[in-house]
Amino acid sequence: MTIAVVGLAAVAAVFTVFSKPSPVRALDNGVGKLPFMGWNTWNAYHCEISESIVLDNAKLIKSLGLLDAGYNYVNIDDCYSEKERSASGDIVASKDRFPSGMKNLTDQLHAMGFKAGIYSDSGWFTCQLYPGSYQNEDRDIQLFQDWGFDLLKYDNCAVPFDEVIKEGMVGKYARMAGAIDKLSKRTGKPPMLFSLCQWGREQPWLWARRFGQSWRTTDDTGPDWGAIRSIINQNSFYSWAADFYGYNDMDLLEVGNDGMTFEESKSHFTAWALMKSPLVISTDLTKATNETLTILKNTELIAIHQDPIVGTAVTPFRWGINPDWTNNFTHPAQYWSGETQDGVVFMLINVLDQPADMFFSLTESPWIRAGRQYSVRDLWSHTNNGTAVRNMTIHNVPPHGVAALLLKDAGDEPAGIQPPCARPEWCMDQNGTRIDQ
* pLDDT for the residue numbered 106: 98
* pLDDT for the residue numbered 281: 98
- Whether 78 and 128 have beta carbons less than 8 Å apart is answered as yes
**Residues of the chain falling short of pLDDT 70:** 1-24
Within a domain: 418: no
| Encoded amino acid at 388, one letter | A
Alpha-carbon distance of 198 to 219, in angstroms, equals 8
Within a domain: 318: yes
Q: Which one of 305, 332, 366 terminates a domain?
A: 305
CATH code where residue 88 lies: 3.20.20.70
pLDDT in tens, 201-242: 999 999 999 999 999 999 999 999 999 999 999 999 999 999
pLDDT in tens, 307-356: 999 999 999 999 999 999 999 999 999 999 999 999 999 999 999 999 99
Residues 269 and 345 in one domain: no
Q: Which one of 305, 325, 347 terminates a domain?
A: 305
Alpha-carbon distance of 105 to 141, in angstroms, equals 17
Residues 276 and 295 in one domain: yes
The per-residue DSSP string of 89-147 comes to: S---B-TTT-TT-HHHHHHHHHHTT-EEEEEEESSSB-TTSSB--TT-HHHHHHHHHHH
- Whether 215 and 198 have beta carbons less than 8 Å apart is answered as yes
Residues 12 and 54 in one domain: no
Cα 344 to its chain centre, rounded Å, is: 18
| Encoded amino acid at 371, one letter | G
The per-residue DSSP string of 28-87 comes to: -SSS-SS--EEEESHHHHTT---HHHHHHHHHHHHHTTHHHHT--EEE--SS-B-SS--T
Residues 50 and 71 in one domain: yes
Nearest to 72 by CA among 40, 98, 104, 50: 40
Active site residue 220: yes
Residues 136 and 196 in one domain: yes
- Whether 82 and 95 have beta carbons less than 8 Å apart is answered as yes
Residues 89 and 136 in one domain: yes
Which among 78, 150, 155, 307 is annotated as catalytic?
A: 155
* pLDDT for the residue numbered 12: 33
Q: Which one of 277, 305, 333 terminates a domain?
A: 305
- Whether 156 and 123 have beta carbons less than 8 Å apart is answered as yes
Residues 86 and 170 in one domain: yes
pTM of the model: 0.94
CATH code where residue 353 lies: 2.60.40.1180
Q: Where are the beta strands (DSSP E) in 217-293?
A: 247-249, 279-281
* pLDDT for the residue numbered 2: 60
Alpha-carbon distance of 347 to 370, in angstroms, equals 20
Q: Where are the beta strands (DSSP E) in 83-208?
A: 115-121, 151-155, 193-196
Which among 138, 219, 220, 284 is annotated as catalytic?
A: 220
* Residue 100 structural domain: 37-305
Within a domain: 227: yes
